[in-house]
Structure 1
Amino acid sequence: MHDDKIILVHNGALGDFLIAWPALLAVARQYGNEAALLYAGREPYAPWAAAAGFQPAPGETRAAVERLYGASSWDTPALAPLAGSRIIWIGLRTPPFDAALLHATDGGARLTFLPMVPENGGGESVRAHLARMMDERLALPWPEDAATVWQERVARWHGLNGRSGDEKNGEIGGDVLLFPGAGHRAKEWPAQRWLDLARRLLDRGLSCRLVLGPVELERGFDAQGVPAIAPPSLAELIERIAEAAAVAGADTGPMHAAALTGTPALALFGPTGARLWAPAEACILRADVDCRPCSTTTHGIACAERDCMESIAVDAVEKSVLEILDVKKEKPACLSSQTSRLLQKQ
């Protein structure tokens, strides 16, 4: 069957999309000369899909993709705009549509689902698992140069040539960005500790800023006089991360943005597993409690308190941030041996 259109769908969270971005690049490289490449996932990510080679799907196509959620057969008239297409849907674990649609029928489309999370957690990271699914289901290799391509195509939009800060006379250029929020409250490090950390870094003469997203603003996060910014768009968020000297946060999307931009990152892990979700080349600090990790995708987190995240001391986070800044030119991945040891304990 010849595919007239390749339709890529990803409706997940920011971090999930950034992890999956290399898959978009691989699909575009494989099919870009043979078919129209259309993106029909979450609209805020459309500019980044365009950077991989995808154009926004027209309204009729997007509407038909939305109707896949309730359809059980390609004979459904509402799916007619998808005829002759190959749909590649990237999700966490299970297809959000009837499994019968995965089997092509005459006049229908070909639908492939690529899960990011291993069925039983396993020993694979989400990146490794997605790469394996791409190989098994589409015969596509994972593009090892994805971060380089991201930096060329996305950072270039903002006139960036890597981070703006340089080391001059022993001084660190660029901001240290601290991300106090997370998609799930159980993954957050206590707000007061972020404030304490920021003040310590400021006292050392470093330029440090809290980064507040829509959730933190909605919850009325009080920066208590600590410098803070609230990027009005995802594009500006990426720009800030690309220019930063280093970033620190919980298991959250901006840490994966740092991985793509090449900005040194420190990620704090509590209920979720670093082996599964750690950003590429990040320095990892994990909660010191026996019960973690307790969830694969946060859906199973039942604890009302954040005891695991509270077990991470400010001293440890400060030390790790300073280590990142000290070695950022030689080892932007932080202390790789330390990271490896931590991941092996997950």
Structure 2
Amino acid sequence: MREAVIIHQGALGDFIQSLPICSGLAALYPGISLHFVCRPAHAELVASQPYFAGAISCDGSRLGPFYLESGWEKVPLPPAFIRSEALFWIGQPASRIVAERLQARLGKRVHWLQSFPVPPRGRPVGDFLLEQMRRLGYPLPDALPSLEVPSRPANRDGVLIHPGSGGRAKIWPLGCWHALIQWLLTTNIPVRIVLGPADAPLSAFARAMAAAGCALELNLSLPRLTALMAASRLVVGNDSGVTHLAAALGLDTVAVFGPASPAMWRPRGPRVRVVNAAWLADQGLAWPELAVPEAIAPVARAVCDLLADSDRVPAFSLRRRTESAADDGAGGFPVPARPG
């Protein structure tokens, strides 16, 4: 096979989970050219890969008519669709009829793959995708998602934290993030917080953390986010596309999981620690109350392990600073006030 098309219109984490299909096809068919139909930002992540031959934005009107009952029969198709020997549509069941219409229009096989199992199953999504490819007759090898790492500065420093997630229920309570950040700052570890467009409900929290001493970055492009990750010693986040990106880049990553299944959704990479936590659905955005030390200890321990600073959680206090605490040297943390 010399040319193929990968169609993936999903979110960042889902797109990254599908990357072993691309690397597997490249291994099975050396020199293959892969054309992508995806979000433009996602195409930037794979643009440096040898198999990348170009991308079409899934936000455009090229595929829109195929979602309608009629009209799709006469829509002009991209030349890459016509030239390619196979097309792979990765999506959920509602997109299957669209893939069938595209197949009828092209007169060639359009393989439909379910992007993740519903209901959830106890195996990684990446393996679920590879199993479907093998059933279609493509013996792809097991592999982790892998992306090219930008040049990493020799003096990498600090911890990059993404406290948000596209799913509100997947956000580790902000009281826990608050406590973890305060602990890092008191141990003289620089902290950089990043928020994306989906993280608007966390903006007040992030501004308060910036006032406490964190650097704050908003709505970064993926290349800029990737560069900041590469310049950091560690990335910490929830079950989100950002932690999947860090893991695929091979960076030291701590991912905090709550309601979702880590067995299915964990970021996959050579330097990933997953911490299983539990919280109530309405706890996520509650702050500025600080979590008790025991609530953040597993995450702090994973941070310490990957930073290679200690094999245990250093002693720290989460008490509000008071005049008496300052006098007795107890070293409690100041709690940033919620902006009015």
TM over 0.5: yes
Q: Structure 2, unaligned stretches of length 5 or more?
A: 311-340
5 Å-filtered alignment, 1:10-159, equals 10-30=8-28, 33=31, 37-52=34-49, 53-57=51-55, 63-70=61-68, 76-78=73-75, 80-81=77-78, 82-83=81-82, 85=84, 86-91=86-91, 93-98=92-97, 101=100, 104-105=103-104, 107-142=106-141, 144=143, 147=146, 150-151=147-148, 155=149, 158=150
- Report the TM-score, using the length of structure 2 for normalisation: 0.73
> Structure 1 unaligned runs (5+)?
166-172, 290-302, 329-346
Name the aligned partner's letter for residue 187 of structure 1. K
Is the alpha carbon distance of 1:112 and 1:57 closer, same or farther for their aligned partners in structure 2, counting shifts above 3 Å?
same
Q: Which 10-residue stretch deviates more, 121-130 or 177-186?
A: 121-130
Map 1:279-294 to 2 at 5 A.
279-281=267-269, 282-288=272-278
The answer for the alignment partner of 2:192 in structure 1 is 209
8 Å CA contact 1:180, 1:194 repeated in 2? yes
> Larger relative CO (CA 8 A, sep 6+): 1 or 2?
2
Match of 1:313 in 2: 295
The letter for the 1-side match of 2:215 is: A
CA contact (8 A) 1:266 1:283 kept: yes
Q: 2:229 aligned to 225, 241, 248, which one?
A: 241
Alpha-carbon distance in 2 for matches of 1:146, 1:100: 25
Q: CA deviation at 1:68?
A: 2.6
Alpha-carbon spacing, 1:313–1:106, altered in 2? closer, same or farther (3 Å): closer
Q: Does 1:252 align with 2:234?
A: no
User: What amino acid is the match of 2:251?
Assistant: T
User: Does the Cα contact within 8 Å between 1:242 and 1:263 map onto a contact in 2?
Assistant: yes
In the alignment, what sits opposite 1:344? none
Q: Whose radius of gyration is greater, 1 or 2?
A: 2
Deviation at 1:190, TM superposition (A): 2.0
- Aligned counterparts of 1:66 and 1:29: Cα–Cα separation in 2: 32
Cα distance change of structure 1 residues 184 and 246 upon mapping to structure 2, 3 Å threshold? same
Tell me: CA distance 1:50–1:28, structure 2 relative to 1, closer, same or farther (3 Å): farther
Q: Distance in 1 between matches of 2:99 and 2:225?
A: 40
Change (3 A) 1:279 1:31: same
Contact 1:241 1:257 (C-alpha < 8 Å) held by counterparts: no
Aligned amino acid, residue 213 of structure 1 = G
Select 1:189's aligned residue among 172, 176, 183: 172
Contact kept? 2:246, 2:253, Cα under 8 Å: yes
Counterpart residue type for residue 193 of structure 2: L
Structure 1 distance, partners of 2:128, 2:221, is 30
Query: How big is the shift at 1:95?
Result: 4.8
What is the aligned residue count? 294
Partners of 2:239 and 2:266 within 8 A in 1: yes
CA gap 1:135/1:205 in 2 versus in 1, 3 angstroms: same
Deviation at 1:174, TM superposition (A): 1.7
Residues 196 and 55 of structure 1: is their aligned pair in 2 closer, same or farther, counting only changes over 3 Å?
same
Question: 1:209/1:102 Cα in 2 relative to 1: closer, same or farther (>3 Å)?
Answer: same
Taking structure 1 as reference, are residues 197 and 88 closer, same or farther at Cα in structure 2, changes over 3 Å only? Answer: same
Q: Using the alignment, how far apart are the partners of 1:47 and 1:127 within structure 2? A: 21
Determine what percentage of the aligned residue pairs are the same residue: 27
* Cα deviation, residue 50, structure 1: 2.1
For 1:298-337, list aligned pairs within 5 A.
Answer: 305-306=282-283, 313-326=295-308
Deviation at 1:99, TM superposition (A): 6.6
Distance of aligned partners of 1:13 and 1:146 in 2 relative to their CA distance in 1, 3 Å threshold = closer
Deviations for 1:263-299, whole angstroms, at most 9, x for unmatched residues?
Answer: 111111111111100112421222347xxxxxxxxxx
CA RMSD of aligned residues (A): 3.5
Task: Specify the SS of the correspondent of 1:40.
Answer: strand
CA 1:69–1:326: 2 relative to 1, 3 Å: same
What are the superposed Cα offsets for residues 207-235 of structure 1, whole Å, 9 maximum, x if unpaired?
22222222334653333223133252111
Change (3 A) 1:5 1:109: farther
| Range 309-318 or range 125-134, more displaced | 309-318
Counterpart for residue 205 of structure 2: 222
Q: Which residue of 2 aligns with 1:199?
A: 182
Shift of 1:252: 0.6
Residue in structure 2 matched with residue 9 of structure 1 by the alignment:
7
